[in-house]
Amino acid sequence: MIVAAVLFTYAVLLCTLAPRLLRGVQWAERAPRLGIVVWQVLGASALTAAVLAGLALSVPTVRVSTDLAELLQACVMALAAQYATPGGASAGAVGAVLALAVLGRVAWCTGAALLRIRRERRAHREVLDMVGRPDAARGVIVLDHEEPAAYCLPGRHRRTVITTGALRTLDDDRLEAVLAHERAHQAERHDAVLAWAQALARAFPRVPLFRIAEAEIARLAEMRADDVAAARSGRLTTAAALLAVAAGRAPAVALSAGGSTAARRVRRLIKPHRPLGRLRVAAGSLTAAVALALPLLVVGGPAAAATQMNYCPDGTPAAQVTTMR
Amino acid sequence: MARFGELEAAIMDAVWGAGRSLRVREVLERLERDPEPAYNTVHTVTEILHRKGWLSKEKDGRAYRYGPTKSREEYIAGLMGEALAVAEDRTATLARFVQQMPPGEAEELHRLLGQAVAREAGEASK
């Protein structure tokens, strides 16, 4: 019971407190790739903890034996011992429901999101291939459209698309920055990262962690691609390219009051770049690894201890059994 | 398979370029492809485009005329609508370079960028 309680508390803390502490922190913008990994790890860790908490409630730890028949018998005995009492049975049922619900919800929502994304991409690509003009020299598809815009259609049949409006607005250096940005998205598979974050946010819409992680990962992925473009074309050239494409369009109706992400990205590129030091990146990566391993250690500790102990000195079947609670 | 898609695009280009509905024979004349595809191939692909909803078909004497159901501009506008949608829903479907920005904000950033460029030029000349 203690293991389940610890894991459950850990998951709840991660889901509520962690996003409040981490949202919009300065270091993430200085090391966007680490920031993305940290948000992903927090989500994975919270999910693992919730599932394991459920399992810890419903499955007692069984002394591991070398003999398979003996092991099976011990398992059956352990389960029978737990479910013989009404309290044990209901705790087990609650745990099983929790674990299955979390796993099922994630699988269902991820599957649905992936299918939807694939369908939308294919429909978009079919029209694109009909009305776009391939520009083999630049490796892009050109669309005859006044408004400057650039985007990429990720996936196996990927396309980078740019409008004639954008080609007119951007000189060669800035165009190179735009293309480097799109190539970075593709090389680092940001579409898959975002699809996963989006699926989790849809699966658990009331959990702050997943909702905020989705927005933060989307923002950090753009900043990461900006950094790659800036390394190639220069920070000010990249900022100018962003500004040219963003400002050439009719302003959107709904924009967040705290300034758009686009503006934040331009400001970040204009200001002198201070990437996070190596030591702090290492410390951040270590923290992420610990967060990922923590739920497994909490479960694995008692389970490993159980394999070492001899619970049945007198050979009674009931004594062969222990539970994690 | 890729060439099949190219032929579809070429046929749509011919129909859009004509500005009126065309017979298969007229489509073939306007294709300007080398080698020239067979009449039957063009006929088949035109029928496929009709079935996919790209071309409308009307009877004209003993033959059929095919015309575009929507203009090229309408399709492009549809694509741009998806690519520039304000809703964050599509972030995973398409990755756009940058969102829109309010004019006031853009002006201020232009000014800041100008200053930064001047500062960098000043440092370089020192």
Contacting residues of A for B8, CB less than 8 Å apart: 130
pLDDT of A81 higher than 80: no
C-alpha distance across the termini of chain A, in Å = 4
Asked if B111 and A268 touch (Cβ cutoff 8 Å), the reply is no
- Euclidean distance between CA atoms A264 and B98, whole angstroms: 11
- Pull the structure tokens for residue A106: 């994630």
Residue A212 included in any domain? yes
pLDDT-based confidence at A151, cuts 50/70/90?
confident
CB atoms within 10 A of CB B67: 15
Q: Does residue A202 sit at the B interface (CB-CB below 8 Å)?
A: no
User: How many domains is chain B built from?
Assistant: 1
SS3 category, A94: helix
Evaluate the CA torsion angle B29, B32, B33, B35 in order and state its sign: positive
Asked if A189 and A166 touch (Cβ cutoff 8 Å), the reply is no
- Euclidean distance between CA atoms A37 and A51, whole angstroms: 21
The domain containing residue A264 runs over which residues?
A: 2-250+257-310
The more confidently predicted of residues A41 and B90 is A41
- Only one residue has tokens 């419903």, namely A58
Whole-number pLDDT of residue A180: 93
Residue B98 included in any domain? no
Residue B53 included in any domain? yes
The more confidently predicted of residues A307 and A139 is A139
- pLDDT digit string (tens) for B72-122? 999 999 888 888 765 555 556 677 777 767 777 888 888 999 888 888 888
Residue A318 included in any domain? no
Q: Does residue B98 sit at the A interface (CB-CB below 8 Å)?
A: yes
pLDDT-based confidence at A66, cuts 50/70/90?
low
Query: What is the phi/psi pair of residue A321, to 5°?
Result: -120, 140
pLDDT of B16 higher than 90: yes
Of the candidate ranges A77-91, A268-282, B50-64, the one whose mean pLDDT is the lowest: A77-91
Angle between helices B72-83 and A86-131 in degrees, nearest 10: 150
Strands A150-153 and A159-163 turn out to be: antiparallel
pLDDT of A218 higher than 80: yes
- Euclidean distance between CA atoms A25 and A209, whole angstroms: 15
Nearest to A130 among B8, B96, B112 (CB): B8
Q: What is the mean pLDDT of residues B37-60?
A: 92
Distance of alpha carbon A187 from its chain centroid, rounded? Answer: 17
Whole-number pLDDT of residue B1: 40
Whole-number pLDDT of residue A275: 87
Strands A159-163 and A140-143 turn out to be: parallel
pLDDT of A314 higher than 60: no
Q: Does residue A150 sit at the B interface (CB-CB below 8 Å)?
A: yes
Whole-number pLDDT of residue A306: 60
Average pLDDT of the residues of chain A: 83
Whole-number pLDDT of residue A315: 46
C-alpha distance across the termini of chain B, in Å = 59
CATH number of the CATH domain containing B33: 1.10.10.10
Q: What is the mean pLDDT of residues A259-279?
A: 85
The more confidently predicted of residues B56 and A77 is B56
User: How many domains is chain A built from?
Assistant: 1
In chain B, which among 32-91 make CB contacts under 8 A with chain A?
Answer: 54, 72-73, 75-80, 82-84, 86, 88, 90-91
Q: What is the mean pLDDT of residues A30-40?
A: 94
Whole-number pLDDT of residue B96: 72
Residue B48 included in any domain? yes
**Which of A44-48, A155-159, B115-119: highest mean pLDDT?**
A44-48
Bridge partners, B63 (sequence order): B60
Q: Nearest-CA distance from B59 to chain A in Å?
A: 25
- Euclidean distance between CA atoms B105 and A260, whole angstroms: 9
**Interface contact flag, A190 B95, Cβ < 8 Å:** yes
Contacting residues of B for A246, CB less than 8 Å apart: 98-101, 106
Q: Does residue B17 sit at the A interface (CB-CB below 8 Å)?
A: no
Q: Nearest-CA distance from A188 to chain B in Å?
A: 13
Its pTM stands at 0.80
Nearest to A236 among B78, B105, B113 (CB): B113
Q: How far is CA A38 from CA A31, A104, A171, A291, A317, in A?
A: 11, 24, 37, 9, 46
Q: What is the mean pLDDT of residues B16-42?
A: 89
The more confidently predicted of residues A316 and A216 is A216
Contacting residues of B for A265, CB less than 8 Å apart: 98
Whole-number pLDDT of residue A87: 72
Asked if A154 and A176 touch (Cβ cutoff 8 Å), the reply is no
- Euclidean distance between CA atoms A16 and A11, whole angstroms: 9
Q: Does residue B106 sit at the A interface (CB-CB below 8 Å)?
A: yes
pLDDT of A251 higher than 60: no
- Only one residue has tokens 């071309």, namely B55
pLDDT of A173 higher than 90: yes
Share of chain A above pLDDT 90, in %: 41
Residue A215 included in any domain? yes
Residue A81 included in any domain? yes
Residue A143 included in any domain? yes
pLDDT-based confidence at A75, cuts 50/70/90?
low
Whole-number pLDDT of residue A257: 40
pLDDT-based confidence at A157, cuts 50/70/90?
confident
- Pull the structure tokens for residue B112: 């800041």
SS3 category, B55: strand
Burial B19-42 (b: 16+ CB within 10 A, else e): eebbebebbbeebeeeeebeeeeb
Please state whether B61 falls in left (phi above 0), alpha (psi between -120 and 50) or beta.
left
Residue B22 included in any domain? yes
The domain containing residue B34 runs over which residues?
A: 2-68
Which H or E run contains B63?
A: strand B63-68
Residue A132 included in any domain? yes
pLDDT-based confidence at A303, cuts 50/70/90?
low
Q: Considering only alpha carbons, which residue of chain A is nearest residue B94?
A: A153
Across the A:B interface, residue pairs with CB atoms under 8 Å apart total 143
Residue B122 included in any domain? no
pLDDT-based confidence at A253, cuts 50/70/90?
very low
